[in-house]
Chains A and B, each alone.
Chain A
Amino acid sequence: MLGKLTWDAIPLSQPVPLIASGVVGLVILGVLSWIVFGGHLPYLWREWITSVDHKRIGVMYCILALVMLIRGFSDAILMRSQQALAYQSPGYLPPEHYDQIFSAHGTIMIFFGAMPFIIGLMNFVVPLQLGVRDVAFPTLNSVSFWLTATGALLVNVSLVIGEFARTGWWPSPPLSEITYSPGVGVDYYLWAIQISGVGTLMSGVNLVTTILKMRAPGMSYLRMPMFCWTSLASNLLIVAAFPILTATLAMLILDRYLGFHFFTDEAGGNSMMFMNLFWAWGHPEVYILALPAYGIFSEVISTFSGKPLFAYRSMVGATMAIFVLAFMVWLHHFFTMGAGGDVNGIFAVTSMIIAVPTGVKIFDWLFTMYGGRIRLTTPMLWSLAFMITFVVGGATGVLLAIPTADFVLHNSMFLVAHFHNVMVSAVLFGAFAGYTYWFPKAFGFRLDEWWGKTAFWFSVAGYVIVFTPFYVLGLMGMTRRMQHYDVDGWRPWILIAGFGVIVMLVGVICQIVQLVVSIRRRESLRDVTGDPWDGRSLEWATSSPPPVFNFAVMPRVEGEEAYWAIKQRAREQARLRDEPDYEPVEMPLNSPTGFICAFFSTLIGFAMIWHIWWLALVGLAGAFATFVVFAWRDRVEYEIPAASVARINRANRATRAQALEHAERRAA
């Protein structure tokens, strides 16, 4: 009846996960009861859960990411403290638990921390920057988000019911095969990633279509803001790379569930094929995350230098070059496979070539700042820290791309230092820069600068203190994922890294405090005009937060930096443009389809993990029924009357006219 699920699945004998999950459970219960008994459920259901508005969905993606980043970070604290204690001693985390922690840390940080953060920002910003009202497929967008949330839920359920994978965040066979990992841990990984992967793919299709087919009149390709370009490249990579992951994990599922022989060591299977397929997705994935972050830095640096992006076209070229090269380097993740000198040599060269377009980008950012009037706001600080630390990470990457060096450094702490050095500085710093930069657009008030800067300094300091020792440890021969160690010389460096994670924790706490303080002081941080940073692209042309339809009339784009041109003209003529003729706006109706789909997907995922076949069938039938019911809807849109559109837009025009007047008086 319940497949493999019994009471033994709950880890009553292990205090750490039990206490952790107990606390999390209590928090969730508290929040849920506050929502239900506080009467917030109807609002939440109406305005958020069933929303198909790209802005709301983007915000929900970011909230999911922030929560998961905290989960991933607490795994990091556990790992650092275990290693700090485990010198000639077993520490406090037994190996089978420690292995789950590092696997969960990687899985959560990549799939449920970084990915939703980046996708959330793209979701929120791209339609606004393109000057359109929503993404191409609004309901599909909601489905994508909820499928991602399903994946995150399944990974976290593994904390209480059963176990998580002990194989690392890429479950390499034969270790991940049923013979060597008979538990449900790997299955949790597989189904969580499969389900959220479908969501990511759908979101990629959605954003590619949006960018290529839905832009405001006049917004030709070479007038798109840089963030739209990098989002386009990133989503094209999603469309081209995620299906490989789906296929690869499907093969592993077939091996584990039905006794197939894709990656087994017997009956002709080939475990290295897993590595090739996995990294054929895995390396593009790095750029799926990093490219939008580059776009964020481009926007932030240009805005806060008060200058157009230097060499816009070469930046577009560099972005698309990285997009192509992303698929040509996967083998550098396993030079030690033994493919021979020629193959390794070619992949070494292609890996190093990626440094060229990346270098172009760095110089473009530097020259954008050169001669500009630089404002050192929090987003700008994140961008500057990125440029410095990322160059170090990139340089060690080029080092690792030399196969002979890689044979020594492979699987060592040096590698761990390298990829954290690039991923954290590009993706997380970028995400935080974007979060601070676009927060006022999303909520109508800015984040507190003092707390933002404090959070920045602690986070960056902690990050440098944690990961720099890793380079040294790697060169001293320490391999990754060690549960305990006996080498005297490593100890001081591991302790320094342990101290660094405490500094980073202060940074994380400052981030949370920043959010709380900003919400409490929102009146004094209010963004009245909708253009708090003197921005240059179209998202700043509308109010903060934008109305549900984004733009009262679709803006006409006449050059690069669409909003800057509009603003300049207003300044020159000392007046806003003439009021447009307002027309009624058609907007898509909210739909619970995404949430219901996710409900059934959770059933399917959980049922498959625990071999509860009937429940999986119920889930499948439910998902199909949802599809049919959705297809039979008769009303799909509602109309916002012209009068309401006019009222909303006039309010924003009034504040802008006021600001313009104020500026003139100051100039005079």
Chain B
Amino acid sequence: MTDALALQPQARVRTDPNHLGHHARAGEGHAKATGRGTGGPSSKRIIVGYGFWIFLLSDIVMFAAFFSAYAVLQTGTAGGPTGAELFDLQNVALETGFLLISSFVCGVAGLALAAKRHLIFQAGMALTFLFGAAFLLLEAREFLDLVDRGAGPTRSAFLSAFFTLVGCHGLHVSAGLLWLLTMMAQVATKGIRPEILRRVLCFSLFWHALDIVWVAVFTVVYLMGSIA
């Protein structure tokens, strides 16, 4: 058996007459680009960016689960306050503004790094941090205020779902801030290297993805909640 090549002759084996399901020239129409078709493995940068995209998609699926729970439980107020009675749209507008600005400066920081402008990168990241932290502060204030008014997460299923969905986004932002500080320190101590560039790329993808999720939170939770 070890001698596999001895298993001749193959001629007696009956093959598919039409070679069914096998394309005679399968694969030749594909692009020669690396990573797809016939070009061999992609570059490290593409692999890392792509992998992180896949992770982000999974994260968005997780948010989708929290969104659907919120949609189901929205009416489960158990005689307690509804969204329309609780939400302060002005505060939310401010939060949204801060988050969007932070995303913008984060983009600037990314460009600065690509152009090897250390100082602008660090300044951009610092601003990103400040706006992100301001967003978190506003959110924390909102949460504390709600709890004070007797509308904490244990009050009703609606509030449980609200605090979890919005809080999960807040937790992501907090983790992002930790990551952001780590990246600032890495660039400062290690300089601009390919792996650092890849990490900053992933961080900015993460940060922008949080914006996208926030847009959904803003629309589904706050806007639609206030109208209802």
Let me know if B40 and A215 touch, CB within 8 A: yes
Q: A254-B160, A261-B157 are in contact. Are A529 and B2 (CB under 8 A)?
A: yes
Let me know if A246 and B62 touch, CB within 8 A: yes
- CB B54 to nearest CB in A, in angstroms, measures 5
Option from A222, A533, A554, A571 in Cβ contact (under 8 Å) with B26:
A222
Let me know if B42 and A214 touch, CB within 8 A: yes
In the complex the two chains form, what is the Cα distance from A213 to B28 in whole Å?
A: 17
Task: Identify the stretch in B9-17, B89-97, B119-127, B210-218 within 8 Å (CB) of chain A at 4 or more residues.
Answer: B9-17
Contact with A along B122-153 (1 / 0, CB 8 A): 00000000000000000000000000000001
Q: Any chain B CB within 8 A of the CB of A397?
A: no
In the complex the two chains form, what is the Cα distance from A259 to B164 in whole Å?
A: 12
Task: Identify the stretch in B30-38, B98-106, B109-117, B220-228 within 8 Å (CB) of chain A at 4 or more residues.
Answer: B30-38
Contact with A along B164-198 (1 / 0, CB 8 A): 10000000000000100010001000100001000
Option from B35, B59, B164 in Cβ contact (under 8 Å) with A251:
B164
Task: Identify the stretch in A501-509, A645-653, A657-665 within 8 Å (CB) of chain B at 4 or more residues.
Answer: A657-665
In the complex the two chains form, what is the Cα distance from A241 to B64 in whole Å?
A: 11
In the complex the two chains form, what is the Cα distance from A632 to B76 in whole Å?
A: 48
Let me know if A209 and B54 touch, CB within 8 A: yes
In the complex the two chains form, what is the Cα distance from A663 to B9 in whole Å?
A: 10
In the complex the two chains form, what is the Cα distance from A204 to B57 in whole Å?
A: 12
Let me know if B40 and A554 touch, CB within 8 A: yes
- CB A604 to nearest CB in B, in angstroms, measures 15
Let me know if A528 and B2 touch, CB within 8 A: yes
In the complex the two chains form, what is the Cα distance from A511 to B63 in whole Å?
A: 44
Let me know if A527 and B2 touch, CB within 8 A: yes
In the complex the two chains form, what is the Cα distance from A313 to B36 in whole Å?
A: 18
Contact with A along B50-71 (1 / 0, CB 8 A): 1100110111011011101100
Q: Any chain B CB within 8 A of the CB of A405?
A: no
Which residue of chain A has the shortest Cβ distance to B44 in the bound complex?
A136
Option from B9, B59, B77, B161 in Cβ contact (under 8 Å) with A667:
B9
Task: List, in ascending order, chain A residues with CB within 8 A of B20's CB.
Answer: 310-311
Let me know if B26 and A560 touch, CB within 8 A: yes
Task: Identify the stretch in A10-18, A157-165, A262-270, A488-496 within 8 Å (CB) of chain B at 4 or more residues.
Answer: A262-270
Option from A208, A244, A560 in Cβ contact (under 8 Å) with B54:
A208
Q: Any chain B CB within 8 A of the CB of A410?
A: no
Let me know if A217 and B38 touch, CB within 8 A: yes
Let me know if B47 and A268 touch, CB within 8 A: no
How many chain-A residues does the 8 Å CB contact rule pick out?
93
Option from A218, A260, A277 in Cβ contact (under 8 Å) with B65:
A277
- CB A13 to nearest CB in B, in angstroms, measures 36
Q: Any chain A CB within 8 A of the CB of B85?
A: no
Q: Any chain B CB within 8 A of the CB of A95?
A: no
In the complex the two chains form, what is the Cα distance from A312 to B26 in whole Å?
A: 11
Q: Contact size class for B?
A: 35 or more
Q: Any chain B CB within 8 A of the CB of A638?
A: no
Task: List, in ascending order, chain B residues with CB within 8 A of A277's CB.
Answer: 65, 68-69
Contact with B along A629-641 (1 / 0, CB 8 A): 0011000100000
Interface residues of A in 234-252 (CB under 8 A from B): 239-244, 246-248, 250-251
Task: List, in ascending order, chain B residues with CB within 8 A of A660's CB.
Answer: 5
Let me know if A446 and B1 touch, CB within 8 A: yes
In the complex the two chains form, what is the Cα distance from A534 to B13 in whole Å?
A: 14
Q: A268-B158, A313-B23, A373-B13 are in contact. Are A136 and B47 (CB under 8 A)?
A: yes
Q: Any chain B CB within 8 A of the CB of A221?
A: yes
Q: Any chain B CB within 8 A of the CB of A223?
A: yes
Which residue of chain B has the shortest Cβ distance to A137 in the bound complex?
B51
Let me know if B8 and A663 touch, CB within 8 A: yes
Let me know if A206 and B51 touch, CB within 8 A: yes
Task: List, in ascending order, chain A residues with CB within 8 A of B163's CB.
Answer: 260
Contact with B along A8-48 (1 / 0, CB 8 A): 00000000000000000000000000000000000000000
Which residue of chain A has the shortest Cβ distance to B52 in the bound complex?
A205
Let me know if B41 and A215 touch, CB within 8 A: yes
Contact with B along A473-492 (1 / 0, CB 8 A): 00000000000000000000
Q: Any chain B CB within 8 A of the CB of A315?
A: yes
Which residue of chain A has the shortest Cβ distance to B72 in the bound complex?
A273
Let me know if B13 and A371 touch, CB within 8 A: yes
Let me know if A216 and B40 touch, CB within 8 A: yes
Q: Any chain B CB within 8 A of the CB of A121?
A: no
Let me know if A244 and B4 touch, CB within 8 A: no
Let me know if B155 and A267 touch, CB within 8 A: yes
- CB A288 to nearest CB in B, in angstroms, measures 13
Task: List, in ascending order, chain A residues with CB within 8 A of B36's CB.
Answer: 212, 220-221
Let me know if A217 and B26 touch, CB within 8 A: no
Which residue of chain B has the shortest Cβ distance to A245 in the bound complex?
B65
In the complex the two chains form, what is the Cα distance from A314 to B18 in whole Å?
A: 14
Task: List, in ascending order, chain A residues with CB within 8 A of B46's CB.
Answer: 213
Task: List, in ascending order, chain B residues with CB within 8 A of A628's CB.
Answer: 182
Q: A136-B51, A273-B69 are in contact. Are A223 and B27 (CB under 8 A)?
A: yes
Which residue of chain B has the shortest Cβ distance to A311 in the bound complex?
B21
Option from A239, A254, A526, A631 in Cβ contact (under 8 Å) with B186:
A631
Let me know if B58 and A268 touch, CB within 8 A: no
- CB A138 to nearest CB in B, in angstroms, measures 12
- CB A197 to nearest CB in B, in angstroms, measures 11
Contact with B along A600-642 (1 / 0, CB 8 A): 0000000000000000000000001001100110001000000
- CB A480 to nearest CB in B, in angstroms, measures 28
Let me know if B41 and A213 touch, CB within 8 A: yes
Contact with B along A167-207 (1 / 0, CB 8 A): 00000000000000000000000000000000001001110
In the complex the two chains form, what is the Cα distance from A52 to B199 in whole Å?
A: 20
Q: Any chain B CB within 8 A of the CB of A345?
A: no
Let me know if B73 and A306 touch, CB within 8 A: no
Task: List, in ascending order, chain B residues with CB within 8 A of A221's CB.
Answer: 27, 30, 36
Task: List, in ascending order, chain A residues with CB within 8 A of B66's CB.
Answer: 247
Contact with B along A259-293 (1 / 0, CB 8 A): 11110101111100100010010000000000000
Q: Any chain B CB within 8 A of the CB of A567?
A: yes
Task: List, in ascending order, chain B residues with CB within 8 A of A49's CB.
Answer: none
Let me know if B54 and A205 touch, CB within 8 A: yes
Q: Any chain B CB within 8 A of the CB of A406?
A: no
Which residue of chain B has the shortest Cβ distance to A272 in the bound complex?
B72
Task: List, in ascending order, chain A residues with CB within 8 A of B190's CB.
Answer: 632
Which residue of chain B has the shortest Cβ distance to A202 in the bound complex?
B55
In the complex the two chains form, what is the Cα distance from A529 to B12 in whole Å?
A: 25
Q: Any chain A CB within 8 A of the CB of B78?
A: yes
Contact with B along A342-377 (1 / 0, CB 8 A): 000000000000000000000010000011110000
Contact with B along A445-457 (1 / 0, CB 8 A): 0100000000000
Let me know if A307 and B13 touch, CB within 8 A: yes
- 4 extra A-B contacts, CB within 8 A, seeds A251-B69, A260-B163: A216-B41, A250-B164, A254-B160, A268-B76
- B interface residues with partner A (beta carbon < 8 Å): 1-10, 12-16, 19-23, 26-28, 30, 35-42, 46-47, 50-51, 54-55, 57-59, 61-62, 64-66, 68-69, 72-73, 75-78, 153-158, 160-161, 163-164, 178, 182, 186, 190, 195, 199
- Leading 5 A-B pairs by shortest Cβ distance: A268-B76, A220-B27, A311-B21, A371-B14, A268-B157
Q: 8 A-B contacts, Cβ less than 8 Å apart? A: A136-B47, A208-B54, A223-B26, A250-B164, A273-B72, A273-B73, A307-B16, A529-B3
